[in-house]
Amino acid sequence: MLIDTYGRVATDLRVSLTDRCNLRCTYCMPEEGLQWLAKPDLLDDDEIVRLIGIAVSTLGIEEVRFTGGEPLLRPGLVGIVERVAALEPRPQMSLTTNGIGLRRTATALKAAGLDRVNVSLDTLRPDVFKTLTRRDRHKDVLEGLEAAREAGLTPVKVNSVLMPGLNEDEAPDLLAWAVEHDYELRFIEQMPLDAQHGWKREGMVTAGDILASLRTRFDLTAEGEGERGSAPAERWLVNGGPHRVGVIASVTRPFCAACDRTRLTADGQVRTCLFAREETDLRAALRSGAPDEEIARIWRLAMWGKKAGSGLDDPTFLQPDRPMSAIGG
C-alpha cells in the first residue's frame, strides 16, 4: 500500500513514457522545444513493466495511466500495454495523448488491452489550433478521436485548456461538439507547468469563467461529491444527461485532500504530486540490482512524505523545475 501521513492511499499510477512531443503547445513548452532526456537516462520497456508490476502486485495500484510528453511516440508502447495487461491483478489502463498518432494505433492499442484514452484538443478552429500548438495538425487529432471511438477505447475523454485571447470563447461550442460526437469533455484550468515559466494567475480562465460561459447555452446539474470520489474533475450533467462535462480546477478549487495518485517520470523518478519539487530515484535502485522488495520500500517511503497540498493556493508558489513534458500530465 502507498499511504501518506494524511491517510491518503495512492491507487492510481501515472507513467510518463517519454519527454518528447510532436506539438509545441504554448502552455507547455517553447517553440524551439526542450533539451530532451538522453536515451540511456530513459527507462527501457523491461524497466517500465517491472516497476508497474511492483506497483500492482505489491503496492496496491489499480489504475495505470500512460502519459508523456506524447506517449504515442514511444516505439514499444503497444508491447508495454500488452505486458501490463497480463499482470495479476490486471490494472485498468488508459492513455493521455494529443491524438495525432491515434488513427494508426487505436486498434492495436485496444487489442493489446488498453481500456480508454484521454485526448487533448483545445479548439475546434484549425487556425487557433495552429497558433496554440505551433503545428498544423488539427485534422489529424479529429481523425484520431474518431479512430479511438470506433476501436472501443471508450469513454473517449477530451481535455481542453482555455487561454485568454485565443480560445476562451469556445467553451459552449466545444461542449456542443462533444455531445454530438459522444465524447466526454473536460476543461482543465491552465496550470503553472510551462518550461518558460510564463504562467500568471492573473487573467487565467478559471473554472468559474468556464461554467458561466457554458450556462449561457446549457443547463448544468452538479453530480455531487458522492459521484466524484477521488477524481480530479467536478462533473455536471448536461441538459439532464446522459452526457456530462467536467472541470479540473487545480488552481482555484484544489482537490488535494482526495488525491490518490503517484507518478513515475520517464527517467524513473517517483513524484508524489504533479507540482512537487522533489523526486525519489527508482532507476538507480533498478540498475544496481535491488530486489522488488527494496524498490517497493523506497516507493513507500517517498509517498509517506507526500505534502498536504500542491501549494498552488500560495501566491508565492514556485513552479517545478521540470516542465510537464518531462513529468507526465
Residues marked as binding for [4Fe-4S] cluster? 21, 25, 28, 256, 259, 273
Q: Which residues are annotated as a binding site for GTP?
A: 14, 65, 96, 157, 261-263
Residue 241 C-alpha cell reads as: 444527461
Q: What are phi and psi of 303, to 5 degrees?
A: -70, -30
What is residue 42's DSSP assignment?
S
Residue 10 C-alpha cell reads as: 495512492
Cβ contacts of residue 269 below 8 Å, gap of 6+? 279, 280, 281, 282, 283
Cell 502507498 identifies what position? 2
Class of residue 216 by CB neighbours under 10 A (exposed 0-12, middle 13-18, buried 19+):
exposed
Q: Which residues are annotated as a binding site for S-adenosyl-L-methionine?
A: 27, 69, 120, 191
Q: Which residues are annotated as a binding site?
A: 14, 21, 25, 27-28, 65, 69, 96, 120, 157, 191, 256, 259, 261-263, 273
Please tell me the distance from the alpha carbon of residue 259 to that of residue 319, in angstroms, as a whole number.
Answer: 19
Q: Answer for the pair 102, 66: CB distance below 8 angstroms, yes or no.
A: no
Nearest to 262 by CA among 233, 234, 282: 282
Cell 517497493 identifies what position? 296
Q: Which parts of the chain fold into alpha helices (H)?
A: 45-57, 77-85, 102-112, 126-133, 138-151, 171-181, 207-214, 225-228, 283-287, 292-304, 324-327
